[in-house]
Amino acid sequence: MGKPVETRRGADGETVLWYSREVPDSAYGRGNYAARIAPDGRLISLEQRLSDANIAKLPPDASSAEDVRDLLGPPHRSYRLPGEEREVWEYQLEGVQRPLTLYVRLSSDQIVREVFMLERRGAASRAQHHDKR
Protein backbone atom coordinates (compact mmCIF):
# COMPACT_ATOMS: atom_id res chain seq x y z
CA MET A 1 0.00 0.00 0.00
CA GLY A 2 3.02 2.25 -0.03
CA LYS A 3 4.21 4.54 2.71
CA PRO A 4 1.72 5.03 5.59
CA VAL A 5 0.49 8.56 6.37
CA GLU A 6 0.85 7.83 10.09
CA THR A 7 2.19 5.11 12.39
CA ARG A 8 0.81 4.61 15.90
CA ARG A 9 2.22 2.24 18.47
CA GLY A 10 0.04 0.77 21.21
CA ALA A 11 0.99 -0.10 24.77
CA ASP A 12 0.37 -3.77 23.94
CA GLY A 13 3.15 -3.73 21.33
CA GLU A 14 0.75 -3.59 18.39
CA THR A 15 1.52 -1.08 15.64
CA VAL A 16 -1.13 0.51 13.42
CA LEU A 17 -0.08 1.78 10.01
CA TRP A 18 -2.59 4.29 8.59
CA TYR A 19 -3.24 4.66 4.86
CA SER A 20 -5.58 7.18 3.25
CA ARG A 21 -6.95 5.98 -0.08
CA GLU A 22 -9.80 6.64 -2.48
CA VAL A 23 -12.70 4.31 -1.71
CA PRO A 24 -12.87 1.69 -4.51
CA ASP A 25 -16.04 1.66 -6.64
CA SER A 26 -17.18 4.98 -5.19
CA ALA A 27 -17.65 8.33 -6.85
CA TYR A 28 -16.78 10.18 -3.65
CA GLY A 29 -14.83 9.81 -0.50
CA ARG A 30 -11.62 8.51 0.95
CA GLY A 31 -11.02 5.62 3.24
CA ASN A 32 -8.75 5.55 6.24
CA TYR A 33 -7.32 2.05 6.36
CA ALA A 34 -5.70 0.71 9.52
CA ALA A 35 -3.16 -2.07 9.02
CA ARG A 36 -2.80 -3.64 12.45
CA ILE A 37 0.60 -5.28 12.96
CA ALA A 38 1.36 -7.69 15.83
CA PRO A 39 4.61 -7.30 17.82
CA ASP A 40 6.05 -10.22 15.81
CA GLY A 41 5.46 -8.33 12.53
CA ARG A 42 2.41 -10.39 11.45
CA LEU A 43 -0.54 -8.57 9.85
CA ILE A 44 -3.55 -8.91 12.17
CA SER A 45 -6.09 -7.08 10.01
CA LEU A 46 -6.64 -4.37 7.41
CA GLU A 47 -9.74 -2.30 8.23
CA GLN A 48 -11.50 0.67 6.64
CA ARG A 49 -12.18 2.78 9.74
CA LEU A 50 -14.39 5.61 8.43
CA SER A 51 -17.70 3.97 9.30
CA ASP A 52 -20.93 4.96 11.04
CA ALA A 53 -20.16 2.40 13.78
CA ASN A 54 -16.79 3.99 14.59
CA ILE A 55 -18.12 7.55 14.37
CA ALA A 56 -20.85 6.60 16.88
CA LYS A 57 -18.11 5.63 19.37
CA LEU A 58 -17.06 9.30 19.67
CA PRO A 59 -19.55 11.00 22.00
CA PRO A 60 -18.90 14.73 22.58
CA ASP A 61 -17.45 15.70 25.95
CA ALA A 62 -16.40 12.09 26.59
CA SER A 63 -13.92 11.47 23.73
CA SER A 64 -10.41 12.77 23.25
CA ALA A 65 -8.33 13.60 20.19
CA GLU A 66 -6.42 10.36 20.86
CA ASP A 67 -9.70 8.41 20.74
CA VAL A 68 -10.48 9.95 17.34
CA ARG A 69 -7.04 9.11 15.95
CA ASP A 70 -7.22 5.56 17.29
CA LEU A 71 -10.70 4.96 15.79
CA LEU A 72 -10.67 6.99 12.56
CA GLY A 73 -7.00 7.67 11.91
CA PRO A 74 -5.41 10.96 10.92
CA PRO A 75 -7.76 13.63 9.56
CA HIS A 76 -7.68 14.46 5.87
CA ARG A 77 -7.46 18.15 6.84
CA SER A 78 -7.16 20.06 10.12
CA TYR A 79 -7.30 23.75 10.97
CA ARG A 80 -8.09 26.24 13.74
CA LEU A 81 -11.20 28.36 13.60
CA PRO A 82 -10.51 32.11 13.51
CA GLY A 83 -11.30 33.80 16.81
CA GLU A 84 -11.88 30.50 18.62
CA GLU A 85 -9.68 28.10 20.53
CA ARG A 86 -11.14 25.16 18.63
CA GLU A 87 -9.45 22.85 16.19
CA VAL A 88 -11.42 21.14 13.42
CA TRP A 89 -10.55 17.79 11.89
CA GLU A 90 -12.17 16.92 8.56
CA TYR A 91 -12.68 13.48 7.06
CA GLN A 92 -14.00 13.01 3.51
CA LEU A 93 -16.64 10.27 3.48
CA GLU A 94 -18.36 8.19 0.88
CA GLY A 95 -21.91 9.47 0.46
CA VAL A 96 -24.81 7.47 -0.94
CA GLN A 97 -25.85 10.24 -3.34
CA ARG A 98 -23.49 13.10 -2.53
CA PRO A 99 -20.08 13.46 -0.93
CA LEU A 100 -20.04 14.06 2.83
CA THR A 101 -17.54 15.64 5.18
CA LEU A 102 -17.27 14.54 8.79
CA TYR A 103 -16.27 17.38 11.14
CA VAL A 104 -14.80 16.73 14.56
CA ARG A 105 -14.38 19.91 16.65
CA LEU A 106 -11.88 19.76 19.50
CA SER A 107 -11.49 22.22 22.37
CA SER A 108 -8.07 23.48 23.47
CA ASP A 109 -7.84 20.61 25.99
CA GLN A 110 -8.14 18.13 23.07
CA ILE A 111 -11.64 16.95 24.04
CA VAL A 112 -14.21 16.28 21.30
CA ARG A 113 -16.94 18.91 21.56
CA GLU A 114 -18.89 18.31 18.32
CA VAL A 115 -19.20 15.57 15.72
CA PHE A 116 -21.32 16.20 12.63
CA MET A 117 -21.58 15.54 8.89
CA LEU A 118 -22.48 17.88 6.06
CA GLU A 119 -22.82 17.44 2.34
CA ARG A 120 -19.78 19.01 0.73
CA ARG A 121 -22.10 21.19 -1.34
CA GLY A 122 -23.13 22.89 1.89
CA ALA A 123 -26.56 21.41 2.68
CA ALA A 124 -27.04 19.43 5.89
CA SER A 125 -26.99 15.75 5.11
CA ARG A 126 -27.57 13.58 8.16
CA ALA A 127 -29.02 14.23 11.58
CA GLN A 128 -25.78 13.30 13.31
CA HIS A 129 -25.00 16.70 14.78
CA HIS A 130 -24.24 16.43 18.50
CA ASP A 131 -23.93 19.12 21.18
CA LYS A 132 -23.53 22.71 19.94
CA ARG A 133 -21.01 24.16 22.39
93 inside domain: yes
75 inside domain: yes
**pLDDT tens readout for residues 13-31:** 999 999 987 765 554 557 8
40 inside domain: yes
The pTM is what?
0.79
List the beta bridge partners of residue 6.
18
57 inside domain: yes
49 inside domain: yes
* Contact in structure between 89 and 78 (CB atoms under 8 Å): yes
Q: How far apart are CA 46 and CA 39, in angstroms?
A: 16
Residues of 40-61 as b/e, b for ≥16 C-beta within 10 angstroms?
eeeeeeeebbbbeebbeebebe
Specify the number of domains making up the chain. 1
Q: Domain span at residue 102?
A: 6-119
18 inside domain: yes
1 inside domain: no
**pLDDT tens readout for residues 70-109:** 999 999 999 998 888 899 999 988 766 678 899 999 999 9
CATH of residue 61: 3.30.1450.10
